[in-house]
Every structure is written in structure tokens, then in C-alpha cells.
Amino acid sequence: MLKKILFPAIISLLLIFFITSCSDVTDVGQSVDEDAINAELNKELSRVMECYQNALLTGDPDSVNDLAQVLEDFDQKYGSDLADEFGTFMAQKQARLTEPINDFPPLTDLPVKKDGDVYLSGGANSLAGYLVDWVAPNVTAGNYNHGAVLDLDKFDPTDLETPCYQTAVQKGAGYETVQEWMTKQNVVVMSPVSALNSTKLNAAQTAMDYYCDPNNTNMQYGFFKNYVNFFSLVEKQDNYYWYCTKVIWRVYNDMGIDVDSNTGLIDWTTSGLYSIVKTYYQVIYFWSKKKANQALQDYINKARKTIVLSEEIYFSPYLKKYYEVIR
């Protein structure tokens, strides 16, 4: 919630407007203030998103501190609570930040046997994992925020470091290994409720291989285009921007199966993304709480349909779990 509705920039604009017009405040918001504030606000939010991107991709404590500082600067300018919310969230994780990232014994019983199986992981003891958790809403005990789909034809039981999971990596779409998945904290493995058509599955996996190829770097990782504009949500059919669960969705969608459940069980109001967007619209539409709330709801409805969350896949009616470890 905004601490200060009439911050200095708005006050200045209102004074200018009242000197030159007798219109009411609502007209000011619609004809003057909204446009005037928008450019500066977008610039500030771009800084936030750039710092978030850097912290997410590097997992460096200094970059996380930079993000916290940028949020604090944003709050001081616009009277929001983003820094406090972020600080409270990270403080809850603080005790674990000094522990080794992979401090759990390997999942030696991890099943690797069904082509096309979906793997989700969460609870990662890393700064990057916590940053994903902060932005995305989580409702499951596993706090799932990562995913992959198994291409069994690529699996070599004599070499667990052979890439066989189609997912997303720093470059965009890419591969992961069984060894990597055995070291994750919380893992669930899901298989289709109905048997997959092997011909369609192979075709879908082959199509995804083009993007997962390590030599194909003509792409980026992200939920938002260029990371700096949260209004530019990456569409599922986009072939340039990739994230892990979009890879899963694409493989299954190519077989005619939409595993994005868009379930109402996930509470988006608990996410950092919700807080950022809420702040944006409260500033832009400071003159109308109703308009701000409607704009926020419209955005979340679009995000729910556009972004494929790990936990939306978890609740897909087309998949059933047969292995789950939460530790």
C-alpha cells in the first residue's frame, strides 16, 4: 500500500495544471498526470528489473544488495513498500544463505524411465532460487519454481552427466543432466494421465532440440522481454525468449496437450510481481483507486494466462505425480 499518495512529482504537476485550468483532479490524472508520471515511473521500474535480472542470473550477494538498494530508492520516491517486503522475505531465508548450495544427499532413487515425464523442483538453497520464489506465487509444500521434460532417448545410465532433460538455462532453452536433478532439494516427477503418442512425442522433442542446442545462442532467458518491462510478457509461442516451464509447455502443446492449468489455487497476491504491478498502478492512477485495482486485476488475469508457472503445471489435470521428495 502506498504510504504517500501525493508525492512531490504529482504535486508539482497538479499545481501547474490548476494554474492553467479549472478541471477536476480526475481530468488531471487522465489528461496530464498519467502521461507525465508514466515515463519516469517506467524508467525507475526498468532499473528494478535490470537489477533483478542481474541478481537472478549471477546469484551474487552483492547484486542482491544492489537490488535491495534500488527498491529502497524506489520506495523513497514513490512511498511504496517493496524494499520492506523484499527484505522480510529474504530475512526468512537468511539463515540458509551461508550453507552450501547443494547440502542434501543425492536422490539416488530418482526415477528416469518414462519418456516425456515432467520434472519439477523447488526449495533451492541458493540466492537465485530465492529470487524466483520472491517473484512467483507458491502454494505447494515443494515451492516448485523450476522444471524440465525428460527425453529418454538421450539418457545414458552409465553417464549421469549426459544432457537428457529439455529445460531452460542462462542462454535460453537448454539441457540438464540426471546428475543435476539428483542434487535438487525438492523434486516431483509426473507422467501423463493418458499414454503419449510416441511419434508425436519424438517430433515435439526434436523440434525443441533445435532451441536447446548449446550452439544455438540466438535467444534469451526470461518471462519478460529484455527483463526491463514487466508489461511485455513473453508469449508461449514466442521462439526467442525461453524459461524452463515454457519448454515443458511447448513440448506438450506440440502434442496437442495444454499443461498450463491456470488454476485458481495459486494466489498471485502473495508474489513480488503482484506487489510491483500494484505499486505501478497505484502511482499511475493515484486519483482513482477503482481504476488502479481494475488495471491490476486485468494485468494479473493476463499474466495467469500467459506465464506458465511450475505450480500451474503441478496442478495440471493431464499429469499425475508418481514420485515426490520434499526435504
Q: Which amino acid is at 82?
A: L
pLDDT score for 123: 83
Backbone angles phi, psi at 82, to 5 degrees: -65, -40
Averaged pLDDT for residues 237-243: 96
CATH 3.90.1720.10 domain span(s) along the chain:
118-266+309-325
Least confident of 5-14, 141-150, 262-271, 282-291: 5-14
Residues in contact with 214: Cβ distance below 8 Å, sequence separation at least 6, in sequence order: 171, 174, 175
Averaged pLDDT for residues 90-107: 70
Averaged pLDDT for residues 3-32: 36
Least confident of 28-37, 49-58, 141-150, 223-232: 28-37
pLDDT score for 10: 34
Least confident of 75-84, 94-103, 119-128: 94-103
60 or 178, which is more confident? 178
Taken as a whole, the chain contains a residue count of 327
Q: Which of 116, 138, 117 is nearest to 129 (CA)?
A: 138
Residue 236 pLDDT greater than 50, yes or no: yes
Which cell numbers in the block locate residue 62? Answer: 552483492
Least confident of 86-95, 172-181, 305-314: 86-95
pLDDT score for 60: 86
> Strand order in 163-169's β-sheet?
172-177, 163-169, 144-150, 118-122, 186-192, 319-325
Torsion from C-alpha of 80, 83, 88, 89, nearest 10 degrees: 110
pTM of the predicted structure, to 2 decimals: 0.84
pLDDT score for 261: 96
Angle subtended by helix axes 34-58 and 272-284, to nearest 10: 160
Which cell numbers in the block locate residue 235? Answer: 508469449
Q: Which CATH class is domain 118-266+309-325?
A: alpha beta
pLDDT score for 86: 94
Q: Judge contact between 165 and 181, C-beta under 8 A.
A: yes
Residue 69's pLDDT band (cuts 50, 70, 90): very high
**Quick one: CA dihedral 278, 279, 280, 281, positive or negative?**
positive
Q: How far is CA 158 from CA 155, 178, 182, in A?
A: 9, 11, 15
pLDDT score for 129: 79
Q: How many CB atoms lie within 10 A of CB 7?
A: 18
Least confident of 162-171, 182-191, 220-229: 220-229
Q: How far apart are CA 209 and CA 215, in angstroms?
A: 11
pLDDT score for 45: 87
Percent share of the chain, pLDDT over 90:
65
Grid cell 537465485 is found at 128
User: What are residue 121's DSSP bridge partners?
Assistant: 146, 187
Judged by DSSP in three states, 56 sits in helix
Q: How many CB atoms lie within 10 A of CB 321?
A: 12
Give residue-wise pLDDT tens across range 265-288.
999 998 999 999 999 999 989 889
Q: Judge contact between 179 and 231, C-beta under 8 A.
A: no
Angle subtended by helix axes 82-93 and 61-78, to nearest 10: 150
